[in-house]
Amino acid sequence: EPAGEDFGINGNVIGGGAQKQAHDEADIPPTVGKHKPDLEAERLRKKAADQPKKKPQEDSKKVIDPPANFEENPGELGKPVRLPKEMSEEMKKAVDDGWTKNAFNQYVSDLISVHRTLPDPRDAWCKDEARYLTNLPKTDVIICFHNEAWTVLLRTVHSVLDRSPEHLIGKIILVDDYSDMPHLKRQLEDYFAAYPKVQIIRGQKREGLIRARILGANHAKSPVLTYLDSHCECTEGWLEPLLDRIARNSSTVVCPVIDVINDETLEYHYRDSGGVNVGGFDWNLQFSWHPVPERERKRHNSTAEPVYSPTMAGGLFSIDREFFDRLGTYDSGFDIWGGENLELSFKTWMCGGTLEIVPCSHVGHIFRKRSPYKWRSGVNVLKKNSVRLAEVWMDEYSQYYYHRIGNDKGDWGDVSDRRKLRNDLKCKSFKWYLDNIYPELFIPGDSVAHGEIRNLGYGGRTCLDAPAGKKHQKKAVGTYPCHRQGGNQYWMLSKAGEIRRDDSCLDYAGKDVTLFGCHGGKGNQFWTYRENTKQLHHGTSGKCLAISESKDKLLMEECNQSLSRQQWTLENYDSS
């Protein structure tokens, strides 16, 4: 066991004064962990209690302890930590500060042990050790971060060390993508000096997560690479089921089930394997989750068996190092964030590999509602990454993405190397991938019309418009001046009579016209375009879609052929 855990015992764990300082004992294991002898913790706790508390420095915020009656060992077993309703002004400020910097509740994280215990989320099926090969390969674990909260980063690393068989971990490679938070400087080396498996690599400039991951891979030596985000927690038995799949077939790329660590309470939330989802994407090239499709369910006897997934979420996976190299790792032309998960997913499938989600392996991740760090100014990096992806891997299907972004592709740089890679590897076509790996995806070219839906009334410059929303969350659909940029004005009229945006359908139940998850049952989602009168006729109500005179509202009214406000044109209309 490392002996250096008393760094920061006096509340100095969070360095430099820019951050709220940690709760005094946050870094000392408070309970008997399965892998941690408690004696050492007890010794450290005593030692901490014996020492005078250091006064916070002039420029640092005062340590704000939780209220006197606050629960002991908050967050153990993944339980939620709720701050009191009544907080001092100082505490409130510290809490707000943590949210601003991280887009999650850093204050709560700082109250929780970095060795906290978690529930065991595995199905009983998974606990039979005979299911896994005995001679599993070692993995290096690569964790890239840019300005990660101290306790969150530490908890990520400790969860790997505390809950993985020692002999299966080569190195833990921390790649600092040019952070400027003071606690991530020298202090990180000091803290991990006592952990020989942990290696820290610093980028010399901001590279973004994709090149940071390539940098990490360049330092790896173990036969398998495992990537994690810097705000994760691994659970009991997470690693063996992943390595087992790669040991059996080195071209299998595997992802754990990603459990949700609540951004506010840090509660660890999981479901049993019946609730496992697989990854997909839409024509905006955004990743999305879906239930395991019927055809895939049929392949298995138990829901705990690994399932094929068309795509991966991106942050958490294991891959054979040589296979990753053969695939050309990542496209180093991808900047900061986004798209790399689809690139790796597409080429895994198209170039002879398999991508799976392994329900026996659970890793938690703090999902945030916004990105807390700076991106590049003046470039749309996500679009640039996505165009590179489309240019290299999507063949003629790239047009659907381009249409979606108003055919404004911007500058995506040079992709000739990546195309050569694809040719050299003799990878299959994107059509093959869609037909065989992701047949559930709705293809715009298979629809009756795709693009804008324009109203001909009041000057004919108004389009059907709806912001992208969450599936199955009813949202009123509106109108907006036509802008020819795709986006919120991109629609597809399916052969089944749906007006769709990806998995959402235009739905009318008698009140507002809304976007709702497509159910495939016609009814309130059934529309007919009458070519001769240009009306959009709604199935169950028999009414026609129109716009208000102010042009800012949709109306459903009795059909009347003479009203131009009931007339629409559909882009790329093809009734054949």
The footprint of Mn ion (CB under 5 A) covers 229
Q: Which residue has the tokens 């101290």?
A: 150
Rounded to an integer, what distance in angstroms lies between the CA atom of residue 151 and that of residue 147? Answer: 12
Q: Which of Mn ion, ligand UD2, none does 48 bind, CB closer than 5 to 8 A by kind?
A: none
Q: Which of residues 168-187 bind ligand UD2 (CB under 6 A)?
A: 177
Residue of this chain nearest to Mn ion (CB atom): 229
Q: Nearer to ligand UD2 by C-beta: 271 or 461?
A: 271
Query: Does residue 216 belong to the site contacting ligand UD2 (CB under 6 A)?
Result: no
Q: State in angstroms the smallest separation of the CB of 332 from Mn ion.
A: 21
Q: Nearer to ligand UD2 by C-beta: 313 or 492?
A: 313
Window of 17-25, 235-243, 308-316, 512-520 that interacts with ligand UD2 by CB under 6 A: 308-316
Which position among 126, 144, 246, 357 is part of the footprint of ligand UD2 (CB under 6 A)? 144
Query: Does residue 278 belong to the site contacting ligand UD2 (CB under 6 A)?
Result: no
Distances (CA, A) of 217 to 123, 206, 227, 394: 32, 17, 9, 26
Q: State in angstroms the smallest separation of the CB of 99 from ligand UD2.
A: 15
Query: Does residue 570 belong to the site contacting ligand UD2 (CB under 6 A)?
Result: no
Burial of 134 (0-12, 13-18, 19+ CB in 10 A): exposed
Window of 20-28, 337-345, 396-404, 553-561 that interacts with ligand UD2 by CB under 6 A: 337-345
Q: Nearer to ligand UD2 by C-beta: 216 or 353?
A: 216
Which residues partner with 232 through β-bridges?
365
Contacts of 453 (CB under 8 A, 6+ apart): 463, 464, 489, 491, 499, 536, 568, 569, 570, 571
Query: Does residue 148 belong to the site contacting ligand UD2 (CB under 6 A)?
Result: yes
Q: Which of Mn ion, ligand UD2, none does 371 bind, CB closer than 5 to 8 A by kind?
A: ligand UD2
Rounded to an integer, what distance in angstroms lies between the CA atom of residue 34 and that of residue 321? Answer: 31
Query: Does residue 149 belong to the site contacting ligand UD2 (CB under 6 A)?
Result: no
Query: Does residue 154 belong to the site contacting ligand UD2 (CB under 6 A)?
Result: no
Per-residue binding letters, 192-211, with ligand UD2 (x by CB under 6 A): ----------------xx--
**Residue 282 dihedral angles phi and psi, to the nearest 5°:** -120, 180
Rounded to an integer, what distance in angstroms lies between the CA atom of residue 301 and that of residue 293? Answer: 15
Query: Does residue 282 belong to the site contacting ligand UD2 (CB under 6 A)?
Result: no
Binding footprint of ligand UD2, residue count (CB under 6 A): 23
Query: Does residue 365 belong to the site contacting ligand UD2 (CB under 6 A)?
Result: yes
Q: Nearer to Mn ion by C-beta: 91 or 152?
A: 152
Query: Does residue 341 belong to the site contacting ligand UD2 (CB under 6 A)?
Result: yes
Q: Is 281 helix (H, G, I), strand (E, B) or coil?
A: strand
Query: Which of 361, 415, 359, 374 shows the shortest CA–CA distance to 391?
Result: 415
Q: Which helix (H) or strand (E) holds 359?
A: strand 354-366
Window of 55-63, 105-113, 310-318, 419-427 that interacts with ligand UD2 by CB under 6 A: 310-318
Q: Please list, residue by residue across 301-339, b when 16 or more beta carbons sit within 10 angstroms of its beta carbon and e when fewer do.
A: eebbbbbbbbbbbbbbbbbbbebbebbbbbbebbbbbbb
* Other beta carbons less than 10 A from residue 46's beta carbon: 10
Query: Does residue 315 belong to the site contacting ligand UD2 (CB under 6 A)?
Result: yes
- The vertex-303 CA angle with 273 and 125, nearest 5°, equals 80
93 φψ region: left (φ > 0), alpha (ψ -120 to 50), beta (else): alpha
Q: State in angstroms the smallest separation of the CB of 149 from Mn ion.
A: 12
Rounded to an integer, what distance in angstroms lies between the CA atom of residue 536 and that of residue 547? Answer: 12
Q: Which of ligand UD2, Mn ion, none does 390 bind, CB closer than 5 to 8 A by kind?
A: none
Q: Which residue has the tokens 């215990």?
A: 117
Q: Which of Mn ion, ligand UD2, none does 24 bind, CB closer than 5 to 8 A by kind?
A: none
Q: How far is CA 463 from the centre of its chain?
A: 32
Query: Does residue 229 belong to the site contacting ligand UD2 (CB under 6 A)?
Result: yes
Query: Does residue 145 belong to the site contacting ligand UD2 (CB under 6 A)?
Result: yes
Query: Does residue 336 belong to the site contacting ligand UD2 (CB under 6 A)?
Result: yes
Query: Does residue 314 belong to the site contacting ligand UD2 (CB under 6 A)?
Result: yes
Q: State in angstroms the smallest separation of the CB of 105 from ligand UD2.
A: 15
The secondary structure of 236-275 as a DSSP string is TT-HHHHHHHHHH-TTEEEEEEEEEEPTTT--EE---GGG
Please give the residue ranges that form the binding site for ligand UD2 (CB under 6 A): 144-146, 148, 177, 208-209, 212, 229-230, 258, 313-316, 336-338, 340-341, 365, 371, 373
